C-alpha cells in the first residue's frame, strides 16, 4: 500500500509505530504520521484482530473514514483508544 498519499499529519511516529505500519527503514527516517490507517494496521498498532477493530468502529470507540470505498481508521482514534 502506498502510504505516501496519507502522510500529511505533522505528528511523528514512534519507532514501534513505524515498524508496525511498514514505514521503517532509512528512506522513512523523517516520515510523519498518516492521518488514516487501514483496519489491519489499526489492529497491529492496538494488538487486536480485525474483528475487534470492526467492533470498535461499530460502537464508536474508533473513528472511520471511507476512502474510495475502503474503510480507514483515524490514527487519532487509535491513539486515543491506546491511551497515547
Q: Which residue has the cell 490514527?
A: 75
B/e letters for 9-46, b = 16+ CB within 10 Å, e = fewer, are: eeeebeeebbebbebbeeebeebebbebbbbebbbbbb
DSSP 3-17: GGGG----PBPPHHH
The residue among 22 and 11 whose pLDDT is bigger is: 22
The yes-or-no verdict on residue 79 having pLDDT over 80 is yes
Residue 43: all three cell numbers together: 489492529
Domain spans of the chain, in order of start:
3-82
> pTM for this structure?
0.66
**What integer is the mean pLDDT of 46-70?**
95
Give residue 33's pLDDT band: very low, low, confident or very high (50, 70, 90): low
**What integer is the mean pLDDT of 66-73?**
94
Amino acid at each position: 500500500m502506498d502510504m505516501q498519499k496519507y502522510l500529511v499529519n505533522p505528528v511523528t511516529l514512534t519507532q514501534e509505530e513505524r515498524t508496525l505500519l511498514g514505514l521503517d527503514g532509512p528512506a522513512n527516517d523523517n516520515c510523519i504520521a498518516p492521518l488514516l490507517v487501514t483496519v489491519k494496521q489499526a489492529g497491529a498498532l492496538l494488538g487486536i484482530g480485525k474483528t475487534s477493530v470492526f467492533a470498535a468502529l461499530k460502537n464508536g470507540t474508533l473513528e472511520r473514514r471511507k476512502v474510495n470505498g475502503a474503510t480507514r481508521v483515524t490514527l487519532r482514534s487509535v491513539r486515543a483508544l491506546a491511551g497515547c
